[in-house]
Amino acid sequence: MKLPSALDALTEALRCLPGVGPKSAQRMAYHLLQRDQAGAARLSDALHTAINRIHHCSQCNTFTEQETCEVCLSSSRDRSQLCVVETPADLLMMEQTHSYRGLYFVLMGRLSPLDGVGPRDIHLDLLEIRLSAGEVKEMILATNFTVEGEATAHFIGELASSRGVRVSRIARGLPVGGELEHVDSGTLAQALIDRREY
Amino acid sequence: MKLPSALDALTEALRCLPGVGPKSAQRMAYHLLQRDQAGAARLSDALHTAINRIHHCSQCNTFTEQETCEVCLSSSRDRSQLCVVETPADLLMMEQTHSYRGLYFVLMGRLSPLDGVGPRDIHLDLLEIRLSAGEVKEMILATNFTVEGEATAHFIGELASSRGVRVSRIARGLPVGGELEHVDSGTLAQALIDRREY
């Protein structure tokens, strides 16, 4: 007696989700087939659409369905300021403060040598090209205040100063060990205003 | 500034998974798009295949890709015994004890009036038809030893006795509050041997 192979395949495929082990995957598979086939169909389509439509902005590296994202295309943004964040969610948090009118660079991660994440994995080659173009006069480091986030900020800060770009870090108004994504807009706005030379 | 709509749709679709809230869904969506597009494509296909291929066995109600599952079709099983379990995973656990040669009925759930799960939701109409056919002489109740599982066993036990079917319950060798899925085969085999009149 074996489980149907399509069920086995689904359980196995669900394990690609972060934090989902064999038992959770089995529970999810049963739930979808038994109680939410419509949800499963929607998820299948959403995955298919997302991997086909979404790619990285040619300028700032965030997720977008266009060649270049709407922030990078906007004529009302200050092109001399570049804010470096770890994820698209962080970019969104920054936008919600309504305190920043410059551009962004999204690392899509953080330096983490123990996990094998080096400078190329967070697209610092792209960032270097951007800095070399000379348009950017100030870089605002808005990586998380975690160990990896701080190390990443330090590394990128060195990179920018060596090219004569003024570097600042958002103020440590955020709790140490905290993450941008979980903070309220007011605190983040304050941290942006209080940024200091790096 | 909004997230791309395909990304929004994916995040929303991931929330159909049990135990996944808005933050986890967002983390999963980023993870899939950034680090595991191959996994996302596999998951999309597996969902699609599973919802198209898998349905319920016409006899025992478990998941199968055929009209009738291989256990129900097997000529070597004792057709006078019917073991009632909550899920296909429980059926699999029973099979792994190699101590049971009868047939199964899979409820695909348990009675839970507070969650709106009544007799029809666990397919007791099908079970009644099965019992009325007269082939089944003994019913073995192997629902979980949780409050809902016990209540379900009680309800189904009454249903079977009223039709003159002998009813037994797997022995309480399992820890109270425990679930079949998480027990070792030896304990479950013992509980099967020690089943008592209900």
B33: chain A residues, CB-CB within 8 Å: 50-51, 54, 63
* ipTM for the assembly: 0.73
Distance from CA of A108 to the nearest CA of B (A): 7
Q: Is the pLDDT of residue A193 over 90?
A: no
Which of A23, A44, A70 is the closest to B47 by Cβ?
Answer: A44
CB A60 within 8 A of CB A69: yes
Q: With a cut of 70, which residues of chain B have pLDDT below it?
A: 1-3, 172-176, 178, 196-197
Distance from CA of A164 to the nearest CA of B (A): 30
What are φ and ψ of residue B134, in 5° steps?
85, -5
With residue B22 as reference, give the H or E element that holds it.
helix B22-35
Can you tell me which residue has the tokens 């349905």?
B55
**A109 part of contact set with chain B, CB < 8 Å:** yes
| Residue B178: predicted pLDDT | 67
Q: How far is it, in rounded angstroms, from Cα B66 to Cα B72? A: 11
Confidence of residue A41 (pLDDT cuts 50, 70, 90): very high
**A31 part of contact set with chain B, CB < 8 Å:** yes
| Residue A176: predicted pLDDT | 65
Can you tell me which residue has the tokens 């899979």?
B106
- Closest CA relative to residue A122, chosen from A100, A97, A149, A103: A149
Least confident of A135-139, A176-180, B94-98: A176-180
Q: Is the pLDDT of residue A85 over 80?
A: yes
| Residue B12: predicted pLDDT | 93
Judge: B33–A50 Cβ closer than 8 Å, yes or no. Answer: yes
Strand partners, A124: none
A179 vs B139, which has greater pLDDT? Answer: B139
| Residue A13: predicted pLDDT | 94
| Residue B131: predicted pLDDT | 92
Q: State the DSSP string of A53-73.
A: H-EE-TTT--EESSSS-HHHH
What are φ and ψ of residue A52, in 5° steps?
-85, -30
**Secondary structure letter of residue B197 according to DSSP:** E
| Residue A183: predicted pLDDT | 76
Q: How far is it, in rounded angstroms, from Cα A111 to Cα A118? A: 6
B65: chain A residues, CB-CB within 8 Å: 4-6
Confidence of residue A115 (pLDDT cuts 50, 70, 90): confident
**B60 part of contact set with chain A, CB < 8 Å:** no
Tens-digit pLDDT profile for residues B124-159: 999 999 999 989 999 999 998 888 998 999 999 999
What value does the mean pLDDT take over residues A163-170? 90
pTM of the model: 0.73
| Residue A97: predicted pLDDT | 85
CB A34 within 8 A of CB B108: yes
CB A51 within 8 A of CB B33: yes
Q: How far is it, in rounded angstroms, from Cα B155 to Cα B178? A: 20
- What would the two tokens of residue A70 be? 């709407």
Residues near A107 by beta carbon (within 8 Å), at least 6 away in sequence = A61, A84, A85, A86, A87, A122, A123, A143, A152
Judge: A41–B28 Cβ closer than 8 Å, yes or no. Answer: no
Q: How far is it, in rounded angstroms, from Cα B80 to Cα A65? A: 60
Judge: B50–A30 Cβ closer than 8 Å, yes or no. Answer: no
Can you tell me which residue has the tokens 């679709």?
B13
CA-based nearest residue in chain B for residue A95? B1
Which of A1, A49, A88 is the closest to B95 by Cβ?
Answer: A1
Can you tell me which residue has the tokens 């400078």?
A119
CA-based nearest residue in chain A for residue B10? A46
Confidence of residue A93 (pLDDT cuts 50, 70, 90): confident
Mean pLDDT, chain A, as a whole number? 88
Q: State the CB neighbour count (10 A cutoff) for residue B1.
A: 13
